[in-house]
Homo-oligomer: A and B are copies of this chain.
Amino acid sequence: MRAALGAIAALLALAAPAAALAKNAPPAKAKIAAPAAKPFFPPEPPPPPPQLHGIQYLYGSAEAAALTRQTWRMLADFVDEQVASGTHRGVVLTPDSSLTNPHFIPCGDKPPAIVLDVDETSILNLGAEYDDLIANRRVFDADVWDRWEKSGAAYVAPTPGAKETLDRLRDHGVTVIFNSNRAVMNAAGAEAALNAAGLGPARHGETLFLSGDDANGSLKDGRRQLIAAKFCVLAMAGDQLVDFSDLFKTEPNGIAARRATVAYSGIVDMWGAGWFVMPNPVYGSGVQGGPDDIFPKDKQWRDPGSSQPAISKLQPATQLKKAN
């Protein structure tokens, strides 16, 4: 907690009342009453944005680093075991699949590969998140993000454990393919970011697929099927459900319905066994909804002893990034 307490102390100091500051006023001359110290109130700092704890957790915490290393390690173990055992079960859904009746594109003799999302799965966009926080930016700014895609390569880092896992799987003959919703016109920037993070080689059209590669815009299924036609896709990783199937987009939506979807009998056994989820409490389809959306009616406890009144509404939490 030392860091946090330090920051708080600094801010409290910043907000020191006039009395404290007046101590630095020159001593009053004898017989002349000292002028009352002019009250000084520094401007109120802006409130922290709703994503602050998510940012602290994802980019700063040892807990998120351990959780991410755990996931990469399990992905590597899973793929190695599939290759060793010769099981080779594909994990990309067929076009005729539904989430309640899923089928997977078979592997045949195709060479083994894994398919990874880029942002907040393979790399952490440290620079862009720092800029959002410092600018106290509360709505997604497509122009800023476009400049980030073009020029941010030196300001990213691999997610903890990503490099070790990718190096290990490549050594074992597994092709690493990235499937991202970064824009095709910024392909050079996407390649540069992945290579700068030590996760390359990433070559657009070969091992990197982007939004605009086909006519389906941000939908990733077409790109997944293209990849699965050439490779035996043994594992996929992403921070958003759409990194595994676009079907999650067309399912009955709403918070509770989405949350139930991942436990469908045909899908529930994929998590940690072909489909690997990375944490992202900062942006995307995981951060939405108000109290009545998030908390089931029968779990809405009110503290009987609390003096604090209920507030009817909060300002809406704005979406800072498109889910990709």
Show the binding face of A for B, using Cβ within 8 Å: 1-4, 7-8, 10-12, 14, 44-67, 69-71, 73-74, 77, 126-131, 133-137, 141, 143-144, 147-148, 151-152, 155-157, 160, 239-241, 248, 253-255, 258-259, 261-263, 268-269, 271-273, 275-291, 293-296, 298-306, 308-311, 313-319
- Is the pair B289, A7 in contact by a Cβ cutoff of 8 Å? yes
- Is the pair B261, A1 in contact by a Cβ cutoff of 8 Å? no
List of B residues within 8 angstroms of A136 by Cβ: 308, 311, 314
The answer to whether A52 and B50 touch (CB under 8 A), given A3-B255, A73-B271, is yes
Question: Within the assembled complex, what's the spacing in Å between the Cα atoms of A143 and B14?
Answer: 30
- Is the pair B52, A314 in contact by a Cβ cutoff of 8 Å? yes
Question: Within the assembled complex, what's the spacing in Å between the Cα atoms of A134 and B303?
Answer: 11
Closest to A151 in B: B304
List of B residues within 8 angstroms of A310 by Cβ: 134-135
Measured CB to CB, the closest approach of chain B to A123, in angstroms, equals 11
Measured CB to CB, the closest approach of chain B to A47, in angstroms, equals 5
Closest to A311 in B: B136
The answer to whether A144 and B46 touch (CB under 8 A), given A59-B294, A279-B279, is no
- Is the pair B63, A280 in contact by a Cβ cutoff of 8 Å? yes
- Is the pair A60, B259 in contact by a Cβ cutoff of 8 Å? yes
List of B residues within 8 angstroms of A262 by Cβ: 62, 65-66, 69, 160
- Is the pair A60, B131 in contact by a Cβ cutoff of 8 Å? no
Closest to A152 in B: B301
Closest to A276 in B: B70
The answer to whether A45 and B313 touch (CB under 8 A), given A56-B287, A286-B57, is yes
- Is the pair B301, A63 in contact by a Cβ cutoff of 8 Å? no
- Is the pair B277, A67 in contact by a Cβ cutoff of 8 Å? yes
- Is the pair B46, A48 in contact by a Cβ cutoff of 8 Å? no
Identify 29 residue pairs between A and B in the complex whose beta-carbon atoms are under 8 Å apart, listed by A's number.
Answer: A3-B290, A4-B319, A7-B289, A10-B313, A48-B50, A48-B315, A48-B316, A49-B50, A52-B314, A54-B54, A56-B288, A57-B281, A60-B259, A60-B289, A61-B258, A62-B241, A63-B280, A64-B281, A66-B275, A70-B71, A71-B272, A74-B74, A126-B296, A133-B294, A136-B311, A137-B308, A160-B263, A279-B279, A281-B281
